[in-house]
Structure 1
Amino acid sequence: MPVIRVHASTAIPREAQLALKRSFGDAIATVPGKSEQWLMCTFDEQAPMFFAGDDTQPCALVEVSVFARTQIAAEVWEELTGLLTPAVSEALGIDPARIYVEYRTTAHFGWNGSNF
């Protein structure tokens, strides 16, 4: 049950959404037991955003939420950041130094009217 949300200060055209969905689908397999089969992607475009007090250059926040009942190794997140950042940078033309990636895990996740 991974979810990847992209909040960007820029537009996210359909072609970019499809490219990101493909990249995220490949990248999520880095997390043990996760695959594109359960991946949900959301895109929030043209969000008012400031990075380092500046809103004149584009920036993005990528939120990754994962259902997990055990600890996920820091190396997994490091590898995932190394895959997600260039994908967002290339698709949206945002400097990698202006992209944050945030990770969250939860032991409770609902789907189809009940919880796992």
Structure 2
Amino acid sequence: MIQLHTSAPIDDEARITLKTAFGQAIAAVPGKSEQWLMCLFDDEVPMYFAGDDSKPCAYLEIDVYATSEVPATAWEKLTERLTPEVSDTLGIDPARIYIRYGSTAHFGWNGTNF
């Protein structure tokens, strides 16, 4: 699951661009692919960064199902791939983008848990 919360507007073209980029980037996590990826886009959210809402900012949350520790290098690769995509597509300064990573061995799908 990749959730993007941003104060910037996201038009249809930008949403497709980001969805495609997220689908490619998730492969940085061992065993993950676009086949199981869900993306959530939450735009034009009132957001402050360092007490300032005069410029757009973004917060990404990446949550994956994993029964073992996800290597830190996977998260680093995702940051390297996701930051420029969000920055370039939405015109957000990379210094105003936060990304949070998490994994869990408890994930529900199709009425049951993995």
Shorter-chain TM-score tier: over 0.9
- Quote the RMSD (CA, aligned, Å): 0.5
Q: CA deviation at 1:73?
A: 1.1
Structure 1: distance between partners of 2:33 and 2:87:
22
Among 2, 5, 8, which residue is 2:3 paired with? 5
The equivalent residue for 1:105 is: 103
User: What TM-score do the two structures reach when normalised by structure 1?
Assistant: 0.97
The equivalent residue for 2:74 is: 76
The equivalent residue for 1:115 is: 113
Q: CA deviation at 1:92?
A: 0.5
User: What TM-score do the two structures reach when normalised by structure 2?
Assistant: 0.98
Among 52, 64, 71, which residue is 1:66 paired with? 64
Unaligned runs of 5+ in 1: none
Aligned residues: 114
Structure 2: distance between partners of 1:79 and 1:43:
21
Structure 2: distance between partners of 1:14 and 1:92:
12
Unaligned runs of 5+ in 2: none
Map 1:25-104 onto structure 2 (within 5 A). Answer: 25-104=23-102
Cα deviation per residue 1:26-79 (whole Å; 9 max; x = unaligned)?
A: 000010000000000010011010001100010000110000110011111011
Percent identical pairs in the alignment equals 61
Give every structure 1 segment of 4 or more consecutive aligned residues whose post-TM-superposition deviation is greater than 3 Å.
none
